[in-house]
Structure 1
Amino acid sequence: MKKYTITGFTVAIMLLFHSCATNPVTGKKDLILMSEEQEIALGAQSDPAVVAQFGLYPDEKLQNFIKEKGEAMAAISHRPELDYTFRVVDSPVTNAFAVPGGYVYFTRGILAHFNNEAQFAGVLGHEIGHIAARHSAQQQSKSTLAQVGLIAGMIISPELAQMGDAAAQGLGLLFLKFGRDAERESDRLGVEYSTKIGYDADEMADFFMTLQRQQEGNGAAIPGFLSTHPNPADRYNTVNQLAGEWKQKLNLTTAKINHDSYLRMIDGLVYGEDPRQGFVENNTFYHPELKFKFPIPGGWGHMNSPQQFQMAPKDGKAMMSLSLAPGESLEAAAQQVLQGYGLQPAESKKVTVNGLPAIAIIATPQPQQQQQQQQQQQNLRVLMYLIQYGGNIYNLMGVTTSTDFNAYFPLFSATMEGFATLTEPDKLKRQPERIEIKTVPQNTTLAQAFRTFNVKDTRMEELAILNGMQLTDPVQKGMLIKVVE
């Protein structure tokens, strides 16, 4: 037995040794249980799920901008051989993130908060740094991927998360939280890469402080590259020091900032939630483009995406979702949805929902699924309404345990039977706010310039942060600033 134990231990050590890969940035051996081919495949598999979850922001010039700058920076990175992909996704959250294999995403929300190209370049370098140093692959090997960005990963219990969209598994790669050392390394690489393509990396440090102010001001979640860890003030000082060192090292005397050209490029950018994609008001979800509405239970959290709308109570004991169902008819859609989720109908009937044809189904997991769930104490029950309207079939689904089903049934039913045609003109015509670039007419303070452009007092601090300035800061005649209209 001792011999076998020693042999097994030796084999384990050998396997760990062969699992070590050379870090492209440091040149040292790292424990990574994923080959580069697997890393690339994982990124390629996750990309469609990311796009489906958020959607691409429909602005060709912005998509071309991030592609052009990303490719230029990737070429001087420590992993130039990767086939990188750069995208702007349609999310109001202020964030940027990367997944293994060369995929980098910036939200329109973070683009709104940059005030020059140099700030953008610093964060771009930071995200490419995560890929270059294989931080995502290391986190995957340590099994510490964060399920941030999905309701199923935030307020719905793990027992119910399995009923969420299949893309949720791929989206576990989103918004990775790295450790302090990884964040510091990516800060350093962000400075190095952005300086090497000619930008002033001092601006990256200023942007960190803008993000910190935003988080302190409205309690918003700190973006991934701020979330773990090093103190923002410490990072500010470190990045400024590194920026000076790299400028000196490269003899860069005229580093690019490009304030005005960047602001002109984002003129008209959608700011905040886009009501055209659906919005919640007075416990009701409205969709102006698809012209429908339905009520939301009071006190429930919600999350909207191009793929689905999700709702859940704070205790995580239930969830509801709305998504499009496949199929040309209600019967075909019901069959495909049940099959896709591994469910079998316990009850099913044709109904009418506010004049719209529908099928109501109570379902349970199929026997093989049920057996597995019983072993895990996850006995689920589902209420589903498939509603035909406007050339689409909508799937409204409520999920909870069998024990709690009767308690949640009235809430599920009220939401699903409240689905109706949207006719209110003010809801149908609702438009998003957009960034507007204004020229300061005279030397004054930022606060006074805002008043010139009829900015409400209640939003002045928000817009000061958006401009990366203080309300008392001086502004000069001819200077470009951002307002929201």
Structure 2
Amino acid sequence: MTPIRAVSRPAVLTLLVFILAACGTTNVNYVTGEEQRGAYTWAQEVQLGTEADRQIQAQFGVYGEDASLTAYVERVARDVLSTSAYTDPNTPAEIRNTPFTFRILDSPVVNAFALPGGYVYVTRGLLAYLENEAQLAVVLGHEIGHVLGRHSSEQAARAQLNQFGLLGAAVLGGVLGGGQVAEGILNYGGTGLQLLQLKYGRGAEREADRAGVAYAEFADYDAAEAARFFVSLRRLSEQAGQSVPNFLSSHPDPDERAQTIPQLASQYDPRGTQVNEAGYMSQIEGIVLGEDPRQGFTENGVFYHPELRFLLDYPNGWQTQNSPAAFLMGEPNGQAVMQLTLAQAQSAQAAGQALRSQQGVQAQAAGALSINGNSAYRVEGTAQQQNGTAAFSATFIEYGGNVYQILGLTSVNGFGTYGNQFRSTAGSFARLTESRYLNRQPSRLEVMRAPAGTTLQALLQGRTMPLGLSDLEIAIMNQTDLTSRLPAGESVKLPE
């Protein structure tokens, strides 16, 4: 698995057209059993989810290192799913016959989400922050609740498709020409998620919470355990310096959820009792913690990719973001952006000529060149976008059996300032040969039993922190703090 993959924009645009063409309908919410207004039928939801799943896999990557962990998450998910309306004989056959798909995404971000039609995702980052199987069951139940509650369809109908128009502009590379040129492309890595997971209202989130607790309790889990995870979410948001994490911006406050989850769980008699901390810890031990340097990392103004064996300089002070679909670089004031991706072409020249032939593209300069011994082709000019005209420099480089595209975008007036930076960055693309970068390995999670009288802070001494994580975040991951005495024998998650 490599972190730079080609993502088919035509597929995304086809999906956008499908969404825009969806007509309003009356749906049954299979969490509450009530009718509600929706934007599409169940069959359309399945089609939408199936198309979106391909993009999500390309965008984030699937965590496939541990088949046992994947099977474990799926087993818990199906136990929870079996307690929902999905298996009720009174539920229409088209629902019961729709296979649900559960995936672990290869992302350090603490997140879980669902797509219409039965697609549920958790990240490896989220798995590291959970403490036991009961917490996992509630999270999975929550996302199943979104699917069966038809919340995407309901929210799309309420949005009157206005939101799709804005997101469509982002997909097409809009927001070009104007103050924040970088906004569209820097959000491109999350376009699939923004497009396909509408921000649910707080009512839908509370409904999914109730569903998650109910499904977990019916599967004999102690759903009240999930309260501690929501405390962790609140601590993470405070650590990030914001009221709530971005992906929770439409959710109820984490502290509210930490209080209501036990209240919801207490309504079930008999209460679920299964927690299974030991079994959960054994499953997640060895999972990658934080950013995985094998998939690319930055250091001192250089992007290194050990697996694909290349390096790339980027301008001093520019912000960066790496994902399986692209490595993104943005001028801090949003005046220019660059994007490194794989091009869908057999050669650099073929990729460049394909760009020149696109509608709305005016090539003002084009030609072959060599970059550090690699055949390359560069096209520069302007492109008509939904929000105006953008100036671009696109360099295509043949290397390692792939064709890489380094695309720089700015306003027409800004090209005189940033054009040379676009060319300089593309010109720095080179073979990676230094063993200290080629051999960089990810940090992995180790589970140990706490000795008597120790603290997490003491246990972390001498350990190297994973990329993107701090001591405090390791404490939040353990749902404790750095200086409190740990009970003897308690399971503790540490960087290996």
Structures share fold, TM-score greater than 0.5: yes
Q: Which 5+ residue runs of structure 1 have no aligned equivalent? A: 1-16
RMSD of aligned alpha carbons = 3.1
What per-residue deviation string (whole Å, max 9, x for no partner) do you get for residues 52-96 of structure 1? 000000221122122222222222223441321110010110000
1:294 aligns with 2:312: yes
CA contact (8 A) 2:176 2:388 kept: no
Q: Is the 8 A contact 1:95 1:109 kept in 2?
A: yes
Would the aligned equivalents of 1:95 and 1:224 in 2 still touch at CA under 8 Å? no
Give deviations 1:221-247, integer Å, cap 9, x for gaps.
94577432423222211111111112x
Call closer, same or farther: CA 1:341–1:119 in 2, change over 3 Å.
Answer: farther
- Report if the CA contact (8 A) 1:445-1:471 is conserved: no
The answer for the alignment partner of 1:447 in structure 2 is 456
Tell whether the 8 Å contact from 1:46 to 1:170 is kept in structure 2 after alignment.
yes
1:444 is matched by which residue type in structure 2? G
Q: Tell me the amino acid that sits aligned with residue 78 of structure 1.
A: A
Paired residues, what number? 454
Work out whether 1:157 is the aligned partner of 2:175. yes
TM-score of the pair, normalised by structure 2: 0.83
Identical-residue share of aligned pairs (%): 40
1:63 equivalent to 2:70? Answer yes
Q: Structure 1 residues 475-484 or 276-285, which shifts more?
A: 475-484
Equivalent pair of 1:157/1:316 in contact (CA under 8 Å): no
* Larger Rg over CA atoms: 1
**Are residues 91 and 167 of structure 1, via their aligned partners in 2, closer, same or farther at CA, if it must alter by over 3 Å?**
closer
Where 2:127 maps in the other structure, the secondary structure is helix
Is 1:317–2:335 an aligned residue pair?
yes
**How far off its partner does 1:339 sit?**
4.7
| 2:26 matched residue in structure 1 | 20
d(CA) in 2 for partners of 1:350, 1:162: 29
Aligned partners of 2:361 and 2:382 also within 8 Å: yes
- Measured in 2, the distance between the counterparts of 1:122 and 1:147 equals 34
Relative distance call for 1:311 and 1:340 in structure 2 (3 A) is farther
Deviations 1:436-464 (A, max 9, x none): 11122x322433661577588x9543222
Higher relative contact order (CA 8 A, sep 6+): 2
Deviation at 1:472, TM superposition (A): 4.5
Equivalent residue letter for 1:267: E
Q: In the aligned structure 1, how far is the partner of 2:170 from the partner of 2:267? A: 44
Conserved in 1, the CA contact under 8 Å of 2:236 and 2:245? no
- Give the whole-Å Cα distance in 1 for the aligned partners of 2:74 and 2:165: 27
What are the equivalent positions in structure 2 for 1:333-482 lying under 5 Å apart? Answer: 333-339=351-357, 343-365=361-383, 370=384, 373=385, 376-440=386-450, 442-447=451-456, 450=459, 459-482=470-493
> CA shift at 1:347, angstroms?
1.5
Q: Deviations over 1:172-192 (max 9, x none)?
A: 335543222111111111110
Please report how far the alpha carbon of residue 291 of structure 1 lies from its aligned counterpart in structure 2 after TM superposition: 1.4
Matched, 1:112 2:128: yes
**1:33-182 residue pairs with structure 2 within 5 A?**
33-58=39-64, 59-80=66-87, 81=96, 82-141=98-157, 142=159, 143=161, 157=175, 170-173=192-195, 176-182=198-204
Counterparts of 2:356 and 2:220 in 1: how far apart (Å)? 55
CA distance in 2, matches of 1:66, 1:341: 45
Letter in 2 for 1:412: F
Q: Distance in 1 between matches of 2:187 and 2:456?
A: 46
Determine helix, strand or coil for the equivalent of 2:266: helix
Change (3 A) 1:205 1:322: same
1:111-166 Cα offsets, whole Å, 9 max, x none, are: 1101111111111111111111111112222247699999968x983666777999
| In 2: Cα distance, 1:391 partner to 1:328 partner | 9
Inter-partner Cα distance in structure 1 for 2:125 and 2:332: 26
Q: Which moved more, 1:45-54 or 1:273-282?
A: 273-282
Q: Which moved more, 1:404-413 or 1:327-336?
A: 327-336
Q: TM-score, normalised by structure 1?
A: 0.85
45-54 or 34-43, larger mean C-alpha shift: 34-43
SS at match of 1:92: coil
Most deviating of 116-125 and 139-148 = 139-148
* Distance (Å, rounded) in 2 between the aligned partners of 1:465 and 1:168: 25
Q: Hey, what does 1:281 align to over in structure 2?
A: 299
CA distance in 1, matches of 2:195, 2:62: 18
| SS of corresponding position for 1:49 | helix
Q: What amino acid is the match of 1:320?
A: M
SS for the counterpart of 2:267 is: helix
Q: Which amino acid aligns with 1:227?
A: S
How far does residue 282 in structure 1 lie from its aligned partner after superposition? Answer: 1.3
